[in-house]
Chain A
Amino acid sequence: MSVLFKAAPPETDPGFENIRRTVWHRRGFLGSQTAYVTLAFIIITLLVATLAGNFTTTNNLLNISRNFSYIALISLGMTVVIITGGIDLSVGAVTALTAVCTMVLMRWVTDSPLAAVPWAALVVPIAAGLALSAFVGWVNGMMVARVGLSPFVTTLGMLSICRGLTYVITQGRGQPPSGPYVAEFLSVTNGNVGGLPASVVYMLVCAMVLGFTLRHTSWGRHLFAIGGNEQAAVRTGVRVTRVKISAYMLCSLSAGLTGILLAGWLGSAPANLANGYELRVIAASVIGGANLAGGVGGPVGAVIGSALIEVIRNGLVLGRVDAYWQDALIGLIIILAVLVDRLRTRQR
């Protein structure tokens, strides 16, 4: 994956007399918080592997990767919003609303004339579910980018709206997938691709596409510009409103996709699905190096951050540590990650 993030080679070093080049280990990827957290991730994984004998079994590793892939998928979307200097607290609720609506639609389509069309009973509910999540993101984006409301308050409201609607629709009851294509739905959302859980494959593909897009398109560059200096982006003719709306749409879409995948994994979409995910997702993004002030972040960080949390969680379980300690430790890791980055940048 490193090829995706490699900078274009410098044309020529003009050999300036009084301006030295930044030393290699403080430049580019190696100079970022993501690099330090990746290193920490490797060390902690090795540590857990030696301490807990059954950590490295194929089954456990596949379990871990599936467990964190859901958080990582949403973290990818969240990272995009965080890069613009925003935040999206509604992701957990959007995950649940999308999952529930997709399940309800699967039932409706089965009883409607559409059921006669081949595959419609599978494709229409999924497409409608994803469209719904994108729409929620569009509303978030409009409120933040065009109306100028604070992202925190807007998406906090949206969290409540979506979670409320989920309970209204389900009356608190879980919604199972139904209709003639249940088997196909389960294999698309919870199958295996080359021995890997489907959700892990979705996560890897999304991470690679996002990494490439952030680095090699105007859209990606404009996201960073908006996060770095929004006023400058406006003045240089970047379509700030449009780019910001697209960021919130992408974030909601990633939550929606995750909701559908979760419904497949659990075999049902409960109304309290993904409760509290927003904070785990933000924690993963921030541990991975996304800066809530904007302008910094990337897909590698989102994935590593999510993986790190899950490895620690898993290690504690295997080490038979009281489960109640997990959250406290995760909190410690969040603060440590940010603290190390702070100390490191102060040395410059």
Chain B
Amino acid sequence: MLYVAQAEPAPSQGVRPGTLPAGERLLELNGIGKSFGAVRALDGMDLAIGVGEVVGLMGDNGAGKSTLTKVIAGNFPPSQGEIRLEGALVTFDRPAAARDAGIEVMYQDLAIAENLTAAANVFLGRELHRSFGPLRLLDHRAMNRRAAELFRELKSETRAEDTVREMSGGQRQAVAIARTRLAKSKLVLMDEPTAAISVRQVAEVLELIRRLRDSGTSVMLISHRMPDVFSVCDRVVVMRRGRKVADKLIAASSPEEVTGLITGAIAAA
């Protein structure tokens, strides 16, 4: 795979995302813009994410990271630009549409109901049923078994039938990630998954991200933590004031450069 970092779109070709080979592009954003009244939250954003690629999205508060995430996740439509998923033009009018298309968001708070079991959380909104005549009853056994399988795949010591209330931060992350594995998501957007957990749990989460990548799932990691992005991502995208100011391979960049890009000390790279 060949990546070329792009600061400016090549004028002759108009707006063009990163030069991934077409067949390996999972998601493409072309010239995405979003305005809230007079505020321009996103401006001419181009981005391509490859199959099984882990992309770090960095930027200061208000740089447009969460707006971009919400556009991709279908929380609101972009004001300009197009989204392509596996080459096909898509419009997501609500989050469920994006999820059905294979884009899952892992929220900072993990969207977990603490009073339910791990398995119930993994299958929340997608329960398995058995039919007894006209009755559609929950298939507890099948859900527990499948959830246990997913936790085993993720190498997480999480018991499917335990209540989440008693679980550690790392186990909770595993529950949220198992949910994306269950949905066979193509792209997982992670919003600050490592912001409020312990050092050991951060290591667990990064390991889970690597497993997702190895199984062919693409990940977009939104993070403030430089070490996390540099240890797990293939590529880093930096945003400032609603624009993309850098899109580079991790190997071709450095924490110092990214810091400069975030703060504006370096204009673009």
Contacts and interface: CB of A to CB of B under 8 A. Distances in A.
A146 B157 CA distance: 40
Contact of B113 (A8, A215, A225, A237): A225
A229 B144 contact: no
B171 to A, nearest CB: 8
B225 interface: no
A327 to B, nearest CB: 32
A295 B113 contact: yes
Contacts of A151: none
A22 B136 CA distance: 31
B40 interface: no
Interface string A138-180: 0000000000000000000000000000000000000000000
A347 B95 CA distance: 41
Among the interface residues B125, B157, B166, B171, which one has the most CB atoms of the partner chain A within 10 A?
B125
B115 A236 contact: no
Contacts of B140: 7-8, 216
Nearest to A8: B140
B141 interface: yes
A10 B161 contact: yes
Size range of the interface on B? 35 or more
Nearest to B112: A232
A239 B79 CA distance: 28
Contacts of B115: 224, 227-228, 295-296
Interface residues of A, number: 33
Nearest to B137: A216
B109 A231 contact: yes
Contacts of A235: 95, 105, 107, 111
B161 A7 contact: yes
B148 A229 contact: no
Given A227-B115, A229-B111, A11 B148 contact: yes
Interface in A1-56: 7-12, 14, 16-19, 21-22
Contact of B111 (A7, A17, A232): A232
Contacts of B95: 235, 237
B144 A11 contact: yes
B66 to A, nearest CB: 14
Contacts of A232: 109-113, 121, 124
A242 interface: no
A216 B113 contact: no
A18 B157 contact: yes
Nearest to A83: B115
A8 B160 CA distance: 11
Contact of A228 (B96, B113, B144): B113
Among the interface residues A14, A228, A235, A296, which one has the most CB atoms of the partner chain B within 10 A?
A235
Contact of B148 (A14, A228, A238): A14
Interface string A200-217: 000000000000000111
A236 B157 contact: no
A59 interface: no
A58 interface: no
B266 interface: no
B152 interface: yes
A227 B114 CA distance: 10
B113 A233 contact: yes
B145 A238 contact: no
A10 B144 contact: yes
Interface in A285-301: 295-296
Contacts of B121: 232
Nearest to A13: B159
B161 A233 contact: no
Contacts of B145: 11
A238 B159 contact: no
B159 A19 contact: yes
A218 B113 contact: no
Contacts of A21: 159, 162
Nearest to A7: B161
A221 interface: yes
B157 A19 contact: yes
B99 interface: yes
B116 interface: yes
Contacts of B138: 215-218, 221
23 contacts: A10-B159, A11-B141, A11-B144, A14-B148, A14-B157, A19-B171, A21-B162, A216-B137, A217-B136, A217-B138, A222-B125, A225-B116, A225-B120, A228-B115, A229-B111, A229-B114, A232-B121, A235-B95, A236-B111, A236-B126, A236-B179, A295-B114, A295-B115
Given A215-B138, A217-B137, A229-B114, 20 more contacts: A8-B144, A10-B144, A10-B160, A11-B148, A12-B148, A14-B148, A14-B152, A18-B157, A19-B157, A19-B159, A216-B137, A217-B136, A221-B116, A221-B138, A225-B113, A228-B116, A233-B124, A236-B111, A236-B124, A237-B95
The 4 closest A-B pairs by CB, nearest first: A228-B113, A8-B140, A237-B125, A228-B115
